[in-house]
Structure 1
Amino acid sequence: MGLREWALGGVLLSPFLIYVVLAMALTVVVRLLLRLTPLGRWIWHEALFDFALFICVLTLVTLELGPR
């Protein structure tokens, strides 16, 4: 998937938006899996952990799907 803008109703949208939505979905899945395991008990500050997890997942998605 190349990084090119696409138009939606005359509004130009960045392809990074797709990466953010995909990373958010993957973060929700990982977070639900962590809640089902005993590892979820070791999370001290949930909001900070969720944000850091999202940034890590977004980085991985961008590295994998971004231009080579």
Structure 2
Amino acid sequence: MPIDFEVGGVYLPPIAQALLLALPIFMALGWSLRRLGVLRFVWHEALFEGALYVCVCAVVILVMGASSP
């Protein structure tokens, strides 16, 4: 189970850690998809980006769970 962090007196549960860790990954992935022109084929860009962020968060949570002893 991932450990809990305390940053400046603020408690960060594992889900918040995963959400914060997924944000730069999502931003880099979104930037690369824009550069490659993949988002031109998407019907609703905001829905696609929301779903992409959820998928990235899920992968980060799975990796965090698999790496813990």
If the length of structure 2 is used for normalisation, what is the TM-score?
0.79
Whole-Å separation in 2 of the counterparts to 1:20 and 1:5: 14
Aligned partner of 1:21 in structure 2 is: 20
The Cα shift of 1:10 comes to: 3.8
The Cα shift of 1:53 comes to: 0.1
The Cα shift of 1:9 comes to: 4.0
How many percent of aligned residue pairs carry the same amino acid? 34
Whether 2:3 is the aligned partner of 1:4: answer: yes
The Cα shift of 1:39 comes to: 1.4
Which deviates more from structure 2 when the two are superposed, residues 9-18 or residues 48-57?
Answer: 9-18
Which deviates more from structure 2 when the two are superposed, residues 37-46 or residues 50-59?
Answer: 37-46
Amino acid at match of 2:36: T
After superposition, what is the alpha-carbon deviation per residue over 1:14-58, rounded to whole angstroms, capped at 9, x for unaligned? 122121111111111111001111312111111101110001011
Unaligned runs of 5+ in 2: none
Unaligned runs of 5+ in 1: none
Count of equivalent residues:
67
Whichever structure has more helix as a proportion of its residues is 2
Whether 2:37 is the aligned partner of 1:38: answer: yes
Q: Look up the SS of the partner of 1:7 in the other structure.
A: strand
Amino acid at match of 1:40: L
Which deviates more from structure 2 when the two are superposed, residues 50-59 or residues 9-18?
Answer: 9-18
